């Protein structure tokens, strides 16, 4: 198993060295951030301030490594501009989130000063640009054929990117509400690291489920389903699951109910 992991890491580096090292950098930061949750007591919305940069660093690393893997399949695709867009924009986002955590300040929904307003707006713009670029890559997967790849695997990448893009834009919904909670203001129930609310609706649930279709659907299709029909059906149900949790959150209902 260790040998397989090492081969996978080596292949990541071969496919796209820039995004490989950026993802590795983010993973290294995630270790630092999780250690800081044990060494500091600074809190934001009743949870340790360093949990947010920890979660974002993991998420950005996964996205970087996932997209470097998929972009390798695209013929005649110039990956260099995409690399720089991801590194610069997500790098800025992660640095700002960590900086605000160090001060015990909000990074998201923070309009307390003109500077915070500008930086939060820039974070939103950065996320939109990366998502639109990813949507373009998804379009390339839909519009091109890949004779050297199993068709079920290609469909899992197509649908994984599609669901990712749709639920990435759910971030705009949270921004418009100035809260990830429905029924309270940015409630966190300390549900392990994820922190989803146990008392009110939480828009982060569908956001999380939808965005990680990018990794989960291709993994399941390639290693388990091995069928185009099954891949499409499961992807549809996965999209329905993400949508259902969104509707549930909008109705103010938690995904996990706190035991009394």
Cβ proximity of 75 and 144 under 8 Å: yes
Q: Give the chain's end-to-end CA distance (angstroms, integer).
A: 43
Q: Considering the entire predicted model, what is its pTM?
A: 0.94
Cβ proximity of 251 and 201 under 8 Å: yes
pLDDT band of 186, cuts 50, 70, 90: confident
Q: What is the pLDDT of residues 136-178, one digit of tens each?
A: 999 999 999 999 999 999 999 999 999 999 999 998 889 888 8
DSSP codes joined into one string, 83-116: HHHHHHHHHHHHHHHHHHHHHT--STT--SSHHH
Mean pLDDT of 4-19: 93
| Confidence at residue 77, expressed as pLDDT on a 0 to 100 scale | 96
pLDDT band of 225, cuts 50, 70, 90: very high
Q: What is the pLDDT of residues 95-109, one digit of tens each?
A: 999 999 999 999 999
Question: Could you give the CA distance from residue 100 to residue 151 in angstroms, rounded to a whole number?
Answer: 45
Closest CA to 10 of 25, 22, 20, 23: 20
**Residue 46 pLDDT greater than 90, yes or no:** no
Q: What is the mean pLDDT of the chain?
A: 93
Mean pLDDT of 27-49: 93
| Confidence at residue 235, expressed as pLDDT on a 0 to 100 scale | 98
pLDDT band of 197, cuts 50, 70, 90: confident
**Residue 39 pLDDT greater than 60, yes or no:** yes
Question: Could you give the CA distance from residue 68 to residue 45 in angstroms, rounded to a whole number?
Answer: 35
Which H or E element spans position 156? helix 151-168
| Confidence at residue 193, expressed as pLDDT on a 0 to 100 scale | 66
Q: Is 150 helix (H, G, I), strand (E, B) or coil?
A: coil
| Confidence at residue 158, expressed as pLDDT on a 0 to 100 scale | 98
Q: What is the pLDDT of residues 16-33, one digit of tens each?
A: 999 999 999 999 999 999
**Residue 191 pLDDT greater than 70, yes or no:** no
pLDDT band of 192, cuts 50, 70, 90: low
């Amino acid at each position: 198993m260790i040998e397989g992991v090492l081969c996978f890491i080596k292949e990541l580096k071969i496919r796209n060295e820039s995004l490989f090292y950026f993802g590795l950098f983010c993973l290294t930061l995630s270790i630092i951030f999780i250690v800081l949750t044990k060494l500091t007591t600074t809190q934001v919305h009743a949870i340790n301030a360093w949990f947010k940069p920890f979660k974002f660093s993991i998420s950005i690393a996964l996205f970087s490594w996932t997209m470097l893997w998929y972009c390798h399949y695209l013929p005649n695709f110039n990956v260099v501009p995409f690399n720089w867009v991801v590194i610069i924009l997500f790098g800025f986002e992660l640095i700002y989130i960590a900086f605000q955590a160090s001060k015990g300040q909000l990074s998201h929904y923070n309009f307390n000063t003109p500077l915070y307003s500008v930086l939060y707006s820039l974070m939103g713009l950065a996320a939109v640009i990366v998502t639109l670029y990813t949507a373009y890559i998804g379009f390339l997967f839909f519009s091109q054929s890949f004779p050297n790849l199993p068709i079920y695997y290609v469909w899992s990448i197509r649908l994984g990117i599609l669901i990712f893009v749709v639920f990435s834009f759910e971030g705009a919904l949270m921004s418009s509400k100035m809260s990830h909670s429905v029924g309270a203001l940015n409630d966190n129930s300390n549900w392990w690291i994820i922190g989803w609310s146990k008392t009110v609706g939480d828009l982060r649930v569908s956001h999380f489920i939808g965005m990680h279709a990018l990794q989960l659907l291709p993994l399941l299709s390639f290693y388990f389903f091995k069928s185009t029909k099954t891949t499409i059906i499961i992807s549809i149900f996965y999209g329905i699951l993400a949508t259902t949790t969104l509707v549930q959150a909008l109705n103010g209902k938690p995904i996990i109910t706190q035991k009394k």
